[in-house]
Amino acid sequence: MRVLDEGARAAYLRRLGLDHAPDPTLATLIDIHRRHLARVPYENLGIMLGQPPSVDPLDSVARVGDVGRLGYCFHQNGAAELLLRSLGYAVERRHGHVWTGRPVPMGPFNHLVLVVEVPGEAGRWWFDVGLGDGFADPLPLADGSVTDGAGFEYTLESVGVHGWSFRHDARGTFGGVTVTSRPSDPTAVEVAHGRLASDPESPFRRLLVCQRRDAGGVETVRGVLWSRVEPGRREERELTGFEEWCSAIRDRIGLSLKGFDETDLRDLFERMLAVHHEWLASRSG
């Protein structure tokens, strides 16, 4: 199992706004989950620019410490697993399949799931900072519905040792997740990431998505649309200029653009603007 050195862990914790390694309590687990979601956005920017970041967890930890970027679920939860283990939590992986529409019982591996046990606490917790607009706090692994502090509702069903079924809030951007005990080891992650980051039909190759979940709701840049979703309220705005688009990604989502060439970013913006215009034309037709 890969382990963090003190320097890498300290840089990661600083990115989360922590100046020391906290004790492995339930309160700490919840705090780290909230801080991670608020400070390290979910995104596929590197993939959309043709520069997919490594899913080696140590590479991901170094990247978040350096520029504050991770990527999507394999990067986010892979890095978080190393951090949580280094703090003293017991962490297990599960195979996840995120679905839209109808539940898919045995879909391909497209989401890394973490199951966490807290020293001195009964039960298990689902820690997940890689769902984009998912839950704000870790979920206790037990059948039933949970309404978070913002008012979003989530449902867990058929919870067992090896897996469960999750239904997202109706305002979410996906339907749910099927969790099983199928392979989720580093090799399985590399294979799945290679497919999702290179297949032209992969949703991660077709549309830019940058998301930040906070205590009150979800902020998103999808293509050239900015949105803010809260229970009972939705704001949306077109980002029709390059500088406005960059500002929304950088200042509203909190995603650093450090290290990316402006020419590449402009090209991506133009591609996303064209996709948006095609979508508008299809709706009006």
Local mean pLDDT, 10-residue blocks, the chain (285 residues):
88 97 98 98 98 97 96 98 98 97 91 98 97 98 96 97 96 97 97 96 96 97 98 95 98 97 98 94 80
Please list, in sequence order, all residues whose beta carbon lies within 8 angstroms of the beta carbon of residue 31, skipping any fewer than 6 positions away: 22
**62 contacts 238 by C-beta, under 8 angstroms:** no
* Residue with the two structure tokens 């590479």: 59
Of 112, 119, 156, the closest CA to residue 27 belongs to: 119
What backbone torsions phi and psi does residue 94 show, to the nearest 5 degrees?
A: -140, 155
How much of the chain is helix, strand and coil, in % rounded to 5?
A: 35, 25, 40
In the chain the domains, ranked by start, together with CATH numbers, are: 201-284 (3.30.2140.10)
User: What's residue 285's pLDDT?
Assistant: 61
C-alpha–C-alpha distance, residues 75 and 53, integer Å = 8
C-alpha–C-alpha distance, residues 133 and 182, integer Å = 25
* Residue with the two structure tokens 């099983």: 180
Of 144, 184, 178, 185, the closest CA to residue 163 belongs to: 178
- Bridge partner residues of 112 (DSSP): 95
> What is the reported pTM?
0.96
